[in-house]
Structure 1
Amino acid sequence: MHTPTNVLLLSLAVSDIFVGIFLMPLQFIWLIESCWLFGTTICAFVNFMSFYLVCASVHNVALIAVDRYLALSNPFFYSTKITVNLIIFVVSLNWMFSLGYNVALLYCNGFFTHALTLCPSECLIIVNKIWSFVDLVVVFVLPCSIMLVLYLKVFAIAKRHANAITRVANSNPDAKSDVPKRSERKAAKVLGILVSVFLLCLVPYYICSFMVESIQRQIFNDVLKYMTTLFYFNSLFNPIIYALFYPWFQKSMIIIVRCRICSPESSLMQVK
């Protein structure tokens, strides 16, 4: 499992599990109680981790799209140039960029000077228009554009491969002619799910964030809480989409859970 793609999946898993540990439980309690019960210090921590982890998670998703496109479009370059060490360096840069960017965003919106003077019953930070636009571009538009463009190219490559297989199948009457069609439908289905879930979780939040001046404050705060929860759900869907659907990952998890990974021959086990 020590491959460049799996390093990216590990980075995505780390960001998503931290969202599940630090953010989701408190967010759900806040929704149930309709009032923030954990004080200003925890509120400041949750706000910072929310911006940081979500940004890192979304960028990890974009990096996975880049990785898959490179692996399909230029396999020789990918196998020779894209090493585990290079991906570890890229992942580290992603986490450092996310940290630096969000510190700058929060600092410019008075987070570090006013975070501990928030109303005890609320736990929201309002970002000004300029930074809302910057955040929209950095955390949504740019990653989403990368995903859409590269996954469309991935689908085009898969379709081209399917057409090549069809030509071979037509020249061989014994070959199964429905295999390319099935693989093409599967590729379209997987890519459609990836992009649809991403857009479903992120678009409502950013629509809401730009309506701060046109909605009554209390209504806006309530809507933003639900949209933030939906944003967090992207981290819930990621492991299902990127890992649990794949039989080789399921087999690997069974090996780990049963502690067979501790056996001397674990490195020789075939999972694909």
Structure 2
Amino acid sequence: MQTLDEVDLCFPQLLNASCRKRALPPAVSMIACIMLTFIGLLTVMLNLIVIVSISHFRKLHTPTNILLLSLGISDFLVGFLIFIQTSVIDGCWFLGDFMCLLYHVLMYIIASSSIGTMVLISVDRYVAICDPMHYRTKVSEKRVKMCVCACWGCATLCHCVLLRHNLKHPGSLNSCIGECVILINNISSVIDMTVSFIGPVIVVVVLYLRVFVVVIVQVRAMRLRTAADPQQSSVKVKKSEMKAARTLGVVIVAFLLCICPFYSVTVTGKDTLLSAYNDAFIILMVYFNSCLNPLIYAFFYPWFRKSIKLIFTLQILKPGSSDFKLM
């Protein structure tokens, strides 16, 4: 018969080496597991719709939507990380040192690439609103694809370098079996915060403030033009671009509110996201943002609602469905 101490251990058979489980009431553990599972399923499903929609329908192959596709891929991957989180609610890591390292590396890469995508979205909206005459020449599909690939490549390379000690010796920092800990020294932490978070956030804020000022000026100009000649097509184009700027602005604000707490833990130098109760809440906010983005698209973008209908009614399986008009 197991003793109380053995029940509280992650690995009861390893009395002297096992970590202790997190002291959570059974009801709390069950609710947390149900919530994470639900968020994970919803995140994977909604972002899969985003990926299929933009990839399948040719009318959606625009520079802005390519950026949304990149964001959807990162959010889709987060959905799988959520399922890993459900297995460590009690604070015990059962997947081994390699999977522990892989989890953290993927988390950092996904977070950095998402922030990089937000910067690209801000640049896209800045050019579209502040320099609309040259938007098509400056922002092409090919250039956007190259920027997205560079964003993911740089995020992967940078974090492999920053986590090189952990990559060489996975699990060397664990104080007991069942723990998942990685180390980021102070210098690496400062570099990561500056390059992956502080710098990009400053760029995003500055660009969107500029966009906000230009939008106010253009709204006033639109009212004057509409009063003079309601049939001007140029006014309609500008109105569409500003609506996209507003929608993507909501996405960026929601993202920053959810991701800021995640990056704040890196200044401590030691990352124990899977063994601390408070950090679990921080991770939950990151997960929720990945689920929130497609909901924002559904609320603001008619093409996304149309694509959902076509996907669930299996209309996309018909020949020529990729040429359906959604916008």
Q: What are the equivalent positions in structure 2 for 1:1-272 lying under 5 Å apart?
A: 1-21=60-80, 23-30=81-88, 32-107=89-164, 110-117=165-172, 118=174, 119-169=176-226, 190=247, 193-211=250-268, 221-242=276-297, 245-272=300-327
Q: Which one is further off, 87-96 or 236-245?
A: 236-245
Mapped partners of 1:70, 1:261: distance in 2: 33
Mapped partners of 1:232, 1:129: distance in 2: 26
SS at match of 2:201: helix
Mapped partners of 2:298, 2:201: distance in 1: 20
Work out whether residues 202 and 231 of structure 1, in 8 Å CA contact, stay in contact via their aligned partners in 2: yes
Mapped partners of 2:229, 2:101: distance in 1: 66
Q: What does the per-residue CA deviation read over 1:137-178, in whole Å, with 9 as the maximum and x for residues that have no partner?
A: 1221122112211222222222122101222355589xxxxx
Q: Which one is further off, 88-97 or 143-152?
A: 143-152
Q: What does the per-residue CA deviation read over 1:213-236, in whole Å, with 9 as the maximum and x for residues that have no partner?
A: 9xxx99x94333332332343323
Q: Which one is further off, 199-208 or 68-77?
A: 199-208
Mapped partners of 1:258, 1:245: distance in 2: 22
Work out whether residues 184 and 269 of structure 2, in 8 Å CA contact, stay in contact via their aligned partners in 1: no
Amino acid aligned to 1:28: T
Residue 124 and residue 100 in structure 1: after superposition, are their counterparts in 2 closer, same or farther (change >3 A)? same
Amino acid aligned to 1:254: K
Q: What is the CA distance between 1:96 and its match in structure 2?
A: 0.9
Work out whether residues 259 and 286 of structure 2, in 8 Å CA contact, stay in contact via their aligned partners in 1: yes
Amino acid aligned to 1:229: L
Work out whether residues 67 and 120 of structure 2, in 8 Å CA contact, stay in contact via their aligned partners in 1: yes
Mapped partners of 2:144, 2:226: distance in 1: 38
Unmatched runs of 5 consecutive residues or more in structure 1: 174-181
SS at match of 2:183: coil
Number of aligned residues = 256
Q: What is the CA distance between 1:244 and its match in structure 2?
A: 5.2
Residue 93 and residue 195 in structure 1: after superposition, are their counterparts in 2 closer, same or farther (change >3 A)? closer
| Structure-2-length-normalised TM-score | 0.68
More helix as a share of residues: 1
Q: What does the per-residue CA deviation read over 1:25-83, in whole Å, with 9 as the maximum and x for residues that have no partner?
A: 112332x2222222222212211211112211221122111112212222232213322
Amino acid aligned to 2:76: I
Identity of aligned residues (%): 35
- Calculate the aligned-residue CA RMSD, in Å: 3.1
Residue 262 and residue 76 in structure 1: after superposition, are their counterparts in 2 closer, same or farther (change >3 A)? farther
Larger radius of gyration: 2
Point out 4+ residue stretches in structure 1 off by more than 6 angstroms.
185-189
| Structure-1-length-normalised TM-score | 0.81
Q: Which one is further off, 229-238 or 132-141?
A: 229-238
